[in-house]
Structure 1
Amino acid sequence: MTYRQRLSFFICIDSCIVLSAIFISSFLVGEPIHVENTLLWISTIAILCSHYFFSLSYKLYKKVWEYASTNELLLLLKIVTYVAFVTGVVQFIALQEIRFKFLMITWLLHLFFIGGSRLVWRLYRDSIINRRTTKVRTLIVGAGSAGTMVARQLLKNSECRLLPIGFIDDNSKKKNLDILGLPVIGGVREIVDVVEERKVDNIIIAIPSLPEKELKPIIQECAKTKAETKILPLLEDLITGKVSVNQFRDVEVEDLLGREPIDIDIESISKNIQGKRVLVTGAGGSIGSELSRQLIEFQPSHLILLGHGENSIYTIEMELKEKKQHDAVEITAIIADIQDKDKMMDVIKTHKPDIIYHAAAHKHVPLMEKNPEEAVKNNMIGTMNIAIAASVHQVTTFVMVSTDKAVHPTSVMGASKKLAEMIIQDMDRKSDTKFVAVRFGNVLGSRGSVIPLFKKQIERGGPVTVTHPDMVRYFMTIPEASRLVIQAGALANGGEIFVLDMGEPIKIVDLAKNLITLSGFTLDDIEITYTGARPGEKLFEELLTEQEIVDQQIYPKIYIGKTTEIQIESIQDILATYTSLDSHALKNRLIEIANSKTIHKSESVVTI
């Protein structure tokens, strides 16, 4: 109803309440109820007028009573007390006497009826109206301030389909206690049993300040159930108003990594990027686009987005330009192929970037096995083209995105990236430009990664295809990978290979199982089938070879090591002859050169 309709309704209700309180009070104290009783009518008029005056003054009729709390109760107490006081003053002025007994009983009845009417309305909404809609039984993990806030919000919000039925908390002091009428049922290890016994359909993890490593086991327990799991947003997002308390995000596979966020040196990165001209190749790709999003936060003077696919470049250009806080950053989108040497030279000459982040590459292992010449053209020749252009036009820093598949490569893609690393290390020796590479493992959610494939297979009802039950990989998120690349540019002295400490490798089959359960299915619903390792795939990946590993730490998670000898003559030979080789011979030659074990001790590798 409108505010005017609501006001009229409450005035009518309150008039009946006030009159009932007065006449019942009169009856109880023996005050005769008839037209000649001046005291009664003066008191009635005084109570009604003062009630409406104070109610309107304190905006009593603007309160939403289904959300009422102690504040509203105190407000009612204040209004009714003021009404009794004013009525006593009117009695004294008009009749030279105050009927204290009458006023006291009227005050009690007035407060009881006014407060009771609001309480009855709230109980009616909570117990009758809200039950008319189907509710989703919800378990809240975390009985702290955040969990209590979530429970209160869900209980008050009649339009929300989530019905909290209890809390899960490992604090033994809270077990078997009631919070807002909801029991603390048990600890994290009891989640599976509680969900089954209490027929829980939804789980909300309401511990936003919990570190990633401690969050992981909770998510793993939730993943064992059929309940849909969601996570409360960060408290800072709630406080700043970015999201509300009843806006939960879905649990993602990234949450199961249990990885702490990478700490980056904001000061050194800002100094390195702010006010500079920055170019990103492959800017439309998963890594390139995230690099661009993060780079623009450091306020470069000019951000150049270079890519081969016009749709992806257009998308990231529009996204960045829509961020009004970055109006000071000039953004230029360029459609170009890094295999075009003349075009690369022209782009660098025209835009004169200070820093280049080279993320353009062919990365699909099976496709490159079938098309090794394309891996040579894009990953090696393309890298050489942009690196030479950077050197000629005196770019300060060149950062190349590499892969853990470049370590002991058994695939064309891995070998081509390893040789691309050698190319830029050779360029570093010859040039004033600082050339470095950044090596990391699989990126969750990137194009061509297993996660989008698994999600599509689950949406189709399965089966989910895994190549081998023992296949393991290192994983990181796209933002993590992008931060590492940016940090590498700030730390670069030239010639390094930066490698992230990626924690423990994860079995692909475990990733598939977790994604199935997080999607609300069981392993009986969605089948997992094994297809066999694909051409060029290894059962496990490495981040450094035995020859590269050195334990000395020079920065948190940063190590200095050694690199294998740069086979630049062999690389030049294969670039000159690759078109004359068949696919099998080209593949073998690439892997042979990339797996050279000779140590070149004058060079260094830096690992994050």
Structure 2
Amino acid sequence: MTYEKRLASLMTIDSIIVLTSIYICNFILAPTIRGFTSTLFISSITLLVGHHLFAHYYKLYKRVWKYASIGELISVFKAVTFSILITAAVQYLISQDIYFRTLAITWMMHIILIGGVRFSWRLYRDTYVSKDHSHDKKRVLIIGAGAAGTMVARQLKHSNDTDLYPVAFIDDDPTKQRLEILGLPVHGGRETIANAVEKFHINHIIIAIPSLRKQQLNSIIQECNKTRVKVQTVPMLEDLVSGKLSVNEIRDVQVEDLLGREPVELDTAAIKEYIAGNVVLVTGAGGSIGSEVCRQISRFSPAKVILLGHGENSIYTIEMELKNNNENDIEYITEIADVQDREKMFYLMKKHKPSVVFHAAAHKHVPLMERNPEEAVKNNVIGTKNVAEAADYHKVDTFVMISTDKAVNPTSVMGSTKRIAEMIIQDLDRHSQTRFVAVRFGNVLGSRGSVIPLFKAQIKKGGPVTVTHPEMVRYFMTIPEASRLVLQAGALAEGGEIFVLDMGEPVKIVDLARNLIRLSGYTEHEIGIEFTGVRPGEKLFEELLGEGEVHEEQVYPKIYIGKTARLYMEEIHEILHNKETDPLVLKQRLLDLANNRVAPRELVAVR
């Protein structure tokens, strides 16, 4: 039905209801008010006109009544009440009298009939239409009987576009247990999940608590894992606040939801102060971290973002994404270049004159760099030196280098080269107008080369999932959180610091594998786990700060800063200028240097 036909139908029905109400009331009370009078006629016309005016004002003709609720009922109440009051005022003007009893009964009939017509479709839909196909749908247990849970339940009950139908709630609040919400029982707390699945013949579980903390989510998932039922969730509070997702967008539980730590709130004003209106250059802009840094930067309205990378396809992909989502009139410029090309780095700094540089370009794959130490030196050390010295020469305001927890007491070539890169920018900061800082964090969930894509691929093939060692542990964080830390570090930078995020408790890789197997709908019996042994350069555990490096006080909630370190600049220059051809010798020299195992002839302290 078109809007015009719908409007005409509703106005016609309302007109009949209004006139019927007042004349029936007059008939009931005729002996008292002496039959039909001119006052009654004028009153009925006034009531009719008043009703339509207030109905339009409160948008009664624009509401979708099959979704009617308390808000719609309040609008009906207001429209009817005000139209009656206007009618009473007109009666008093023309006859110096008000027929209170007639108007009171008219008001009651008016509300009953207007509301009844509106809500009858909602009643029919809830009673019959929504239940017609419920027996064909998957039976859903909703965990969380709060606002989000009831919203999900209502959405599922009234939607014909989904194969899910809610049958019960689970909630830890004892005041809700054994009651019903939307006609669905609140069975009990999280400890009764397995029992509820069996009792209600559940096919599907939805966790509908957006504010759920990761530890609580882990606890609920452990209970859900006692069943063989598929588990989904509504978006977390962070995604709802940022506008990425809405509460009714149900998705699979990701292993990222269970790991990492609670998000750190950013000092958005401080970040905006050094990014808004400025030119920002990001190296490695096509990588997992670099591309997310570009997305986060774009929220703070820079004038221009330079996307610098070596891989043309990845740079093109992030360029298209950013331009398609560009709401702040930001200019995005791509530059295909290698950070090992010193002349090109100086040329690009001169060409674009950035105020801020985020250096994310690096080789990061531990076993590959063990086999190719000279390439790690070229990219991670020489590349960083080129970009940093170009930034220094062209007086960039802030330079933020992305480092790693593997730079602490490194046992790998990758970790060693990142620690040496930290030394280089700390040394530059001693005599530069540019503020040079580094940011260290642990493993990034979902980044290229991370363990999760590997595990997912192994599960897809039927297993086994390969884990190096049963006691292997790592810190984890999400790509967006890692990128936000990088931006916050730039705002906190005074020069020479190494910022570290408090990443909570480390996670066993074998537990990560088990969670991923269960979330994929399998058991450990179906998808086995195979231990392959620690790879060259790997440690069983990682550290974020070395012994004696830690300041106990946080410089920002959940962010620490490293203490003064010693720099071995002469030894670094010797490695760079006297290139070692034997990979084993080069690797040992890198490890000795990064772990302070060199002769103390040229120790330079960071201020």
Superposition TM-score tier, normalisation by shorter sequence: 0.7 to 0.9
Aligned position for 2:311: 309
Aligned position for 1:476: 477
Aligned position for 1:34: none
Aligned position for 1:141: 143
SS in 2 for 1:199: coil
State whether residues 549 and 562 of structure 1, in contact with CA within 8 Å, keep that contact through their aligned partners in structure 2.
no
CA drift at 1:73: 7.1
Aligned position for 1:95: none
Distance of 1:52 and 1:521 partners within structure 2: 65
CA drift at 1:317: 1.8
1:401 aligns with 2:402: yes
Distance of 2:13 and 2:556 partners within structure 1: 72
Cα pair distance change 1:358/1:122, threshold 3 Å:
closer
CA drift at 1:222: 3.5
Cα pair distance change 1:294/1:112, threshold 3 Å:
closer
> Residues 387-407 of structure 1: CA distance to partner in whole angstroms, max 9, x if unpaired?
221222222222211111111
Cα pair distance change 1:4/1:491, threshold 3 Å:
closer
CA drift at 1:423: 1.8
Deviates more, 1:164-173 or 1:147-156: 147-156
1:594 aligns with 2:597: no
Deviates more, 1:512-521 or 1:595-604: 595-604
Cα pair distance change 1:357/1:236, threshold 3 Å:
closer
Aligned position for 2:576: 575
Distance of 1:578 and 1:314 partners within structure 2: 35
State whether residues 170 and 186 of structure 1, in contact with CA within 8 Å, keep that contact through their aligned partners in structure 2.
yes
Aligned position for 2:429: 428
CA drift at 1:419: 1.4
SS in 2 for 1:578: coil
Aligned position for 2:461: 460
SS in 2 for 1:186: coil
Cα pair distance change 1:418/1:224, threshold 3 Å:
farther
SS in 2 for 1:547: coil
Distance of 1:318 and 1:76 partners within structure 2: 49
CA drift at 1:301: 2.6
Distance of 1:571 and 1:204 partners within structure 2: 55
Residue 321 of structure 1, aligned match among 320, 323, 328: 323
1:257 aligns with 2:259: yes
CA drift at 1:244: 5.0
Aligned position for 1:281: 283
CA drift at 1:364: 0.6
SS in 2 for 1:261: coil
CA drift at 1:310: 0.9
Q: Structure 2 regions of 5+ residues with no counterpart?
A: 22-34, 36-44, 88-100
CA drift at 1:183: 0.8
SS in 2 for 1:561: coil
Distance of 2:245 and 2:596 partners within structure 1: 53
Distance of 2:435 and 2:468 partners within structure 1: 40
CA drift at 1:503: 0.9
> Residues 414-451 of structure 1: CA distance to partner in whole angstroms, max 9, x if unpaired?
11111111222222234333222111110111111112
Aligned position for 2:93: none
Aligned position for 1:171: 173
AA matched with 2:207:
I
Cα pair distance change 1:524/1:337, threshold 3 Å:
same
Aligned position for 1:294: 296
SS in 1 for 2:578: helix
SS in 2 for 1:562: coil
SS in 2 for 1:138: strand
Aligned position for 2:530: 529
SS in 1 for 2:414: helix
Question: RMSD across aligned C-alpha pairs, in angstroms?
Answer: 4.5
1:229 aligns with 2:236: no
Distance of 1:70 and 1:554 partners within structure 2: 49
CA drift at 1:501: 1.1
AA matched with 1:570:
E
Alignment of 1:326-337 (within 5 A): 326-327=328-329, 329-337=330-338
SS in 1 for 2:187: strand
SS in 2 for 1:420: helix
State whether residues 554 and 560 of structure 1, in contact with CA within 8 Å, keep that contact through their aligned partners in structure 2.
no
Aligned position for 1:35: none
Alignment of 1:6-405 (within 5 A): 66-69=66-69, 125-126=125-126, 129-131=129-131, 133=133, 134-225=136-227, 226-232=229-235, 234=237, 237=240, 245-257=247-259, 259-327=261-329, 329-405=330-406
Aligned position for 2:491: 490
Distance of 1:549 and 1:75 partners within structure 2: 61
State whether residues 212 and 236 of structure 2, in contact with CA within 8 Å, keep that contact through their aligned partners in structure 1.
no
Deviates more, 1:404-413 or 1:290-299: 290-299
Distance of 1:484 and 1:108 partners within structure 2: 61
AA matched with 2:595:
N
SS in 2 for 1:319: helix
Deviates more, 1:512-521 or 1:398-407: 512-521
SS in 1 for 2:530: strand
Cα pair distance change 1:522/1:324, threshold 3 Å:
same
Cα pair distance change 1:522/1:51, threshold 3 Å:
farther
CA drift at 1:545: 1.4
Alignment of 1:499-510 (within 5 A): 499-510=500-511
State whether residues 233 and 248 of structure 1, in contact with CA within 8 Å, keep that contact through their aligned partners in structure 2.
no
Using the aligned pairs only, state the percent identity.
58
Deviates more, 1:291-300 or 1:523-532: 523-532
AA matched with 1:251:
V
